[in-house]
Chain A
Amino acid sequence: MIDNPYLPIKTEVLDVIEESPTIKTFRLRPETPLHFKAGQFVEMSIPGKGEAPFTPSSSPYEKDKLEITIMKAGRVTSMIHNLKKGDVVGLRGPYGKEYPLSEYEGKEILLVGGGVGLAPLRALFLALVHDIEKYKNVLFCCGSKTPSDIIYKDSVLDKWQSLDKKKVKFRITVDRKDDSWKGNVGLVTTTLDNLEINLKNSFSIVCGPPIMMKFSTFKLLEVGYKPEQIYLSMEKNMSCGIGKCGHCRLGNFYACKDGPVFRYDKISHIHEIWD
């Protein structure tokens, strides 16, 4: 019999990192390594309870472990948030289309992330940084609701800031500040003004909540990006992960097998993409 694509791999929770009041990162080690590419997703399950799709947030170059950053949002994610070091979960995948890294070579790369949408972009960012000489430069625009909602604080606010500033730059903003915040205040779209990027030689990649994706995409079009220069990670109800269960259909595509990474011009005509 051919391999059963619905069968999860037994996976150990190695560590749980609290990123924000509603977001945790889970460090995982599957019994059989699971090699994903940045942008692809996996199905993570609580044994006997249920399963949900997530895009790993760790470097795809890390071979036997991976990290998944998860916001407490529904039934399965609430159970996942109760997990502790040493617990066992299920994983299957990776599924779907990754970010086309080879197309990004020699280009100026703009990453636009909001909230937990930073998760797939972190995997992408780490993949870009891994071979940074291949890319002209990277600008990472990160938006969060408040300073306490910023995820990967150690990296975003500290570790990544020591990377070569000629190659890697950041624009970090919060919607609402608190007393401790000295940085930018405003929606992530405000970081897209005055881009010091040669738009003709650039790709932008957006990931975040639906409303943020919508307005960021429109803003990118407004500042001069063409639809074929914008990549989106679409969040749909990817239940089986393999193009069969029907839940994540998006026009003539299934987000799980034709996405979740889509070039905007390929899906811009589809109704309901931002909902």
Chain B
Amino acid sequence: MDLYFINKPNLDRLVKSLSKTYKIFVPVKSDNSRFYKKIEEGLRDSVIGEIRAVEPIKSFYFPARTKIAEYFSKDDSDKKEKPIAIIGAKSCDLASFKVMDYVYAQEPFKDPFYISKREAGLIISSDCTSYGETCFCVAIGIMPYPTEGFDISLSEVEGGYVAEAGSLKGEKIIKEYFKLFQSADPYIEKRDSNRKKLKEDLLEHVKKSKIPSKDSIQPAFKNKFDSSLWEEVAKTCVECGACNMICPACHCFILMDQKKENGFERLRMWDSCLLMSFAKVAGGANPRKLLAQRMRNRFDKKFNFFPDTIGRFGCTGCGRCIEACPGKIDIREVLSKLEG
């Protein structure tokens, strides 16, 4: 795809124009973390570069709590909302779309709520310009800069950004606002060297975690299926489900029905496979009674099921679960223990 340069004031102008069509979310910094904030008046204190936000991008397309049906009532009204644009999404979050799209957009039962948000939405991603202590994307084959799954991607360079269109939607926006862009020629070399430098630094950073090479993770997991590793890992798990909630690729949910004034409604809420009742059936049978089995199941899904099913891990190396776990369970450490 063609590359362009956009300076900071012009990006701000572009975002202001896009906010007529989209509800725009951009990371802002609080203490040392980044959170998505809805903006209406340009970019202001937003952080386009740096590292991923605390919340996973799934929360916009597959929110923690969604009403998915109103039934046996008269007013099944369909209220129209502005589509969502995310600015500053990082590569690890874009990778999670591969999992989410597989789950929610697959035939024969497409999820209308997810699909309508994805189709109408806009993703303006950006390169990471640093890495966090828990970041390990490169260890599992994901780059710290977007390579797919964006409409437009921004790479910070001095005075502005190198912009790349990744979809027809992105190209159309660049064409429509073409006067805001300049030639990227003077900046491409710098973008590439920035990317190379960060990738190398991050590779160096993850080296000490001793994560098996990308291609040996799945076979190593299979070898360790019956080992005592899972009991060991589960020892400090308190079954809070934080790792599932914060994971951009965890997609499981529970359905809940409730009465409303006129009729009934059905809600869909994030669920956690580490909870005791996750796989339990009414008669009491539970294929994963033990916490160690549920812990293994989490890794089974991410590093065995998804490679077989979609040819990629159900983990994007974002490291959020490491930060979220009160039991200090470190996914990098677990992966390192798969070998040997």
Which residues of A line the B interface, CB within 8 A? 1-8, 10, 45-52, 71, 73-77, 88, 90, 209-210, 235-237, 239-240, 242-252, 271-273, 275
Contact = CB atoms under 8 A, between A and B. Distances in A.
A48 B279 contact: no
B69 A4 contact: yes
Most buried by B among A3, A8, A246: A246
Given A4-B112, A71-B283, A244-B104, A50 B289 contact: no
Contacts of B327: none
Nearest to A8: B71
A115 B281 CA distance: 16
B129 interface: no
B271 A5 contact: no
B293 interface: yes
B133 interface: no
B278 A6 contact: no
18 contacts: A1-B116, A2-B115, A4-B68, A5-B109, A5-B110, A6-B68, A7-B69, A46-B257, A47-B257, A75-B282, A77-B282, A236-B279, A239-B254, A243-B106, A244-B104, A250-B287, A252-B309, A275-B285
Contacts of A209: 283, 285
A244 B278 contact: no
> For the complex, would chain A's binding face be called helix, strand, loop or mixed by DSSP majority?
loop
B282 A73 contact: yes
A245 B253 contact: yes
A245 B109 contact: no
B285 A235 contact: yes
Interface centre among B68, B71, B112 (most CB of A within 10 A): B71
A2 B112 contact: yes
A90 B72 contact: yes
B232 interface: no
A252 B307 CA distance: 10
A246 B109 CA distance: 14
B258 A48 contact: yes
B257 A49 contact: yes
B200 to A, nearest CB: 36
Interface of B: 68-69, 71-72, 78, 103-104, 106, 109-112, 115-116, 225, 251-259, 264, 266, 268, 271, 273, 278-289, 293, 301, 305, 308-309
B185 to A, nearest CB: 44
B271 A245 contact: yes
A90 to B, nearest CB: 6
A70 B232 CA distance: 40
B293 to A, nearest CB: 7
B252 A51 contact: no
B203 to A, nearest CB: 31
Contacts of A235: 281, 283, 285
Contacts of A77: 282
Contacts of A3: 112
Contacts, number: 119
Contacts of A251: 305
Contacts of B273: 246
A210 B282 CA distance: 12
Given A2-B115, A74-B283, A77-B282, A240 B253 contact: yes
Enumerate the 8 nearest inter-chain pairs by beta-carbon distance, A residue then B residue, closest first. A74-B282, A246-B252, A242-B109, A48-B259, A272-B287, A73-B282, A48-B264, A275-B287
Contacts of B103: 243-244
B282 A7 contact: no
B115 A236 contact: no
B281, B286, B309: most-surrounded residue (chain A CB, <10 A) = B281
A142 to B, nearest CB: 19
A151 B217 CA distance: 50
A237 to B, nearest CB: 5
B284 A73 contact: yes
B43 to A, nearest CB: 32
A252 B278 CA distance: 17
Contact of B109 (A236, A244, A252, A271): A244
A251 to B, nearest CB: 8
B271 A6 contact: no
Contact of A47 (B72, B278, B301, B309): B72
Contacts of B309: 252
A209 B284 CA distance: 11
B69 A247 contact: no
A73 B266 CA distance: 23
Nearest to B293: A272
Contacts of B104: 244
A273 B112 CA distance: 32
B72 A247 contact: no
A248 B251 CA distance: 13
Contacts of A75: 282
B251 A246 contact: yes
A116 to B, nearest CB: 9
B295 to A, nearest CB: 14
Contact of B111 (A8, A244, A272): A244
A273 B110 CA distance: 28
Contact of A252 (B252, B271, B305): B305
A45 B287 CA distance: 24
Contact of A239 (B116, B251, B255): B255
A48 B257 contact: yes
